Amino acid sequence: MNLPEEIEDYIKESIDHCLGLPVSEQTLELKLRASEEARRELQDQCLLLQSRLKEKDDQIELARADEKAKQAEARARHLEEEVLRLSDELRSYKRKLAAHEDGGPAERRVMEETLLESVLEMVNNGGFVSTNSFLDGGNESCQKLLNMWNFLRPATQKVLSLVAEAKKLEKDREHLRTNLSKAEEEAKMLFNENNILNDENQRLLRHYRRVVGSGVKSPGTASAKIHSVEILTTYVSISDPNRDSDYEDSANDLGVVHIRIVH
């Protein structure tokens, strides 16, 4: 295969250069350009690799930051649980300390009876607006009873439990009262609507009676085709909410007219 003359000269001079023989300036320039081109390619590859390396470093740092954040969150939850546990222990120790400072069993019983009498007296005299104020009002006697709860007699605990139950019953009573008021309003509204419907049905009844009478007197008109008209009235009992509750069976009869034309 015949090679171009330039390539043959380049190969020949490259061999001469390897052997230490002098080569032409043109060949040296070609080698210089080739080396510069190779250097630029290597530099571009180096920059590309550096950018990829930086991206990987950023991803590694982000992963480390996420891991640290998760560890910090888990640590915070653990510390919160530990704080709650220690707070419960502290309250328990405070109650025991308060009970111990109040004296022995005999003195605690006297104090218990005194505090309970004070609380019940305030409840009986209306000292509390509601049972809720008794439980959450921060009264000194109530607070002491709560602190002494584990040392209270069963009877005293029962009394306080009944007061708590009274709170629930009071709340239920208020709900029932509200629901009863709403039901009364709805009953009044339905009663008024039924009165309106009753008047309208009476008007329709009179109207169709006139239609029937007109059809009988004028058989030559278009109404003569109607042989008979059946008027059916259905009565619905609606209790009047404005009446006295002692009259349980009192009701208004509401007539609903149904017209059926028979040919």
Q: Taking a C-beta distance cutoff of 8 angstroms, is the pair 252, 194 a contact? A: yes
pLDDT tens over the chain, length 263 residues: 566 666 666 677 677 667 666 767 777 787 788 888 889 999 999 999 999 999 999 899 999 998 999 999 999 998 889 889 888 888 888 877 776 655 556 666 776 677 776 666 655 555 444 444 554 555 666 677 667 667 777 777 777 777 767 767 878 888 999 999 999 999 999 999 999 999 999 999 988 888 888 764 444 444 434 444 444 444 444 444 444 444 334 334 444 444 444 44
> What's the pTM?
0.32
Which helix or strand (DSSP H or E) is residue 255 part of? strand 252-262
Instruction: Determine the angle formed by the axes of helices 105-124 and 154-217, rounding to 10 degrees.
Output: 30
Any bridge partners for residue 258, and if so which? 232
Structure tokens of 173?
Answer: 């009573």
Structure tokens of 257?
Answer: 């007219």
What end-to-end distance do the CA atoms of the chain give, in Å?
118
The pLDDT score that the predictor gives to residue 221 is: 44
| CA proximity to 194, closest of 244, 245, 235, 248 | 235
The pLDDT score that the predictor gives to residue 182 is: 93
What is the rounded distance in angstroms from the CA atom of residue 83 to the CA atom of residue 45?
Answer: 57
What is the rounded distance in angstroms from the CA atom of residue 20 to the CA atom of residue 170?
Answer: 114
Q: Which residues contact residue 15 at a Cβ distance below 8 angstroms, ignoring those fewer than 6 apart?
A: none
Backbone angles phi, psi at 230, to 5 degrees: -95, 125
Q: Which residues contact residue 219 at a Cβ distance below 8 angstroms, ignoring those fewer than 6 apart?
A: none
